[in-house]
Amino acid sequence: MSAPQADAGGRTDDDREPSGEGRRPAAGAAGPYRLVTDDLELRRLVDTLAGEPRYALDTEFHRERTYWPRLALVQLAWPGELVLVDALAVDLTPLAAVLDGDGLAVMHAAGQDLEVLDRACGTLPRRLFDTQVAAGFVGFSTPSLAVLVERVLGVTLPKGNRLTDWLRRPLRSEQLDYAAADVRHLLAVHDALEPELRACGRLGWVQDECAALLERGVKVPDPETAWLRMKDARNLRGPARGVAQALAAWRERRAAQLDQPVRFVLSDLAIIGIAQHPPSTEHELRRIRGVDERHLRGGAARELLEVIRAGREQGSVSGPARRDELDRELRPAVALLSAWIAQLGRDLAIDTAVLATRADIEGFLRGDGSRLESGWRAELLGEPVRRVVEGQAALAFDPGGRLLLEDRSHRPLLVDLPRPSAPWTRPRG
């Protein structure tokens, strides 16, 4: 299960004991699973999965001490089978044939897992059903897998320690049981959600969202825009911007080359400090706040000075236009429309974040790109939002306190109110 980068590849346990190949019974009535640690066994697994119409899929990985995510375990389940593949023991390239096949990959919160799979197998699932995305269309608010399985199936998943080191071998049986639970019930959740989605006419919406998730693919950070992701970068002016851009780009490339987090290569604090007072000597560089000795090893000090010089010669650079600025006249509309969309989400039992975020609304009002401009959102939300902004529709409360969108009557309630002829000022003296 993919998880925040600070976590260790999703839900975890804490320690290890020897693992082994073959079939291992899981705790209680959880059922058996196989642990695959052999390339030949993986190829046989791929041949079997190639004919399956759908399969559950999850991964366990780490990335808190590396630039690229390090895959530790792949969990797969299909009717009658559950397999854990030790990613440290086998070459996962053959698994690409399954991902590229006709089978439907059922995953939960697939975003980071997709990045991991793309790096390990060189491809993404061709077809995807994300149970977290789907749950948002039937009234859940971004549920965890444990919450979803309990609410839909009445099954309580085992709890674990999120600080488990999945890369350490051998793995304990409790950890393997825990990892197996991440895929054991996914197909049953899919069986429960799909008929509900079909009955309320939202299955197509979920399929569109999952297809969009795959189309966005894996985003590799652009070194040249890395400086814009730093909190204080936009406050820099003049040549300091050029230095910050050059340093952040160098840091991104070096981190990828060394497979280290960018903060290990050079901190944001150091980049901002250098940009504000660019040093010209190694002695001056070492005096910058945030620059540690570890940042300057292996010839890095000389490289940094060259990057700083190039950044100063480049001069000021312009960042992208701020996307958070709206015309003053449109700012009240964002709050009104957000309230209406929240009400619509409650009425339709759809997670409001699935319908539209504040950024979606602002982007639509600016006309510079928004999810409300295409697909099912354009009809459900985009057109009503446009009518409100153009004065063709109005928002009102019904007697029960619900916020409704209605055709505008064009009959103002307050007419010809007197106004002061000139601004009032406090008398002197």
Residue pair 12/178 in contact (Cβ under 8 Å)? The answer is yes
> Please, what's the largest Cα pairwise distance for the chain?
96
Dihedral sign (CA 377, 383, 384, 386): positive
Helix, strand, or coil (residue 33): strand
Taking the C-alpha atoms of residue 336 and residue 111, their distance in angstroms, rounded to an integer, is 31
b/e per residue 225-240 (b: at least 16 CB within 10 A) = ebbeebeebeebeebb
What's the confidence (pLDDT) of residue 425?
64
pLDDT-based confidence at residue 8 (cuts at 50, 70, 90): very low
| Contact status, residue 289 vs residue 269, Cβ threshold 8 Å | yes
405 has a pLDDT exceeding 50 = yes
User: Does residue 10 surpass a pLDDT of 50?
Assistant: no
Architecture in CATH of 328-407: Orthogonal Bundle (1.10)
Look up residue 243 and give its two tokens: 């230095």
Cα end-to-end span (Å), the chain: 72
| pLDDT at res. 319 | 60
CA distances from 201 to 270, 317, 350 (A): 53, 49, 13
Q: How many CB atoms lie within 10 A of CB 105?
A: 26
Cα gap 141→135, rounded to integer Å: 8
List CB contacts of 9: < 8 A, sequence separation 6 or more. 1, 2, 3, 59, 60, 61, 62, 72, 73, 166
Q: Where in the chain is the domain with CATH 1.10.150.80?
A: 223-314, 328-407
pLDDT number for residue 2? 41
Q: pTM value?
A: 0.83
Could you give the 3-state DSSP secondary structure of residue 295?
helix
Residues of the chain with pLDDT > 70, as a percent, come to 87
CA distance 324 to 188: 42
Residues 307/250, Cβ–Cβ less than 8 Å: yes
Q: Quick: pLDDT tens for 217-264.
A: 777 789 999 998 898 887 898 999 999 999 999 999 999 999 999 999
Q: For residue 95, which of 11, 31, 36 has the smallest C-alpha distance?
A: 36
The pLDDT tens digits of the residues spanning 19-74 come to 334 444 333 334 689 999 999 999 999 999 999 999 999 999 998 899 999 999 99
Residue partners of 195: CB distance under 8 A and separation at least 6: none
Q: Which superfamily is assigned to 22-216 in CATH? A: Ribonuclease H-like superfamily/Ribonuclease H (3.30.420.10)
Per-residue tokens: 163: 């600080």
Q: What are 136-158's pLDDT values in tens digits? A: 999 999 899 999 999 999 999 98
CATH number belonging to the domain at 223-314, selected among 1.10.10.10, 1.25.40.10, 3.90.730.10, 1.10.150.80: 1.10.150.80
- Per-residue pLDDT, 424: 61
Q: What is the pLDDT of residue 64?
A: 87
Name the nearest CA neighbour of 36 among 79, 107, 94, 106. 94
Q: How far is Cα 55 from Cα 52, in angstroms, rounded to an integer? A: 7
pLDDT score of 410: 79
Residue 94 has pLDDT above 90, yes or no: yes
* pLDDT (average), residues 130-134: 97
**CA 306 – CA 302 distance, rounded (Å):** 6
How far is Cα 110 from Cα 78, in angstroms, rounded to an integer? Answer: 18
* DSSP H or E segment with residue 84: strand 81-86
CA atoms within 13 A on the CB side of 106: 26
Residue 131 — φ and ψ, nearest 5°? -65, -30
Task: Report the pLDDT value the prediction gives residue 409, as an integer from 0 to 100.
Answer: 85
Q: What is the dihedral of CA 60, 66, 68, 73, to 10 degrees?
A: -20
CB-based contacts of 418, cutoff 8 Å, min separation 6:
none
Give per-residue burial for 415-427: e unless 16+ CB within 10 Å, then b.
eeeeeeeeeeeee
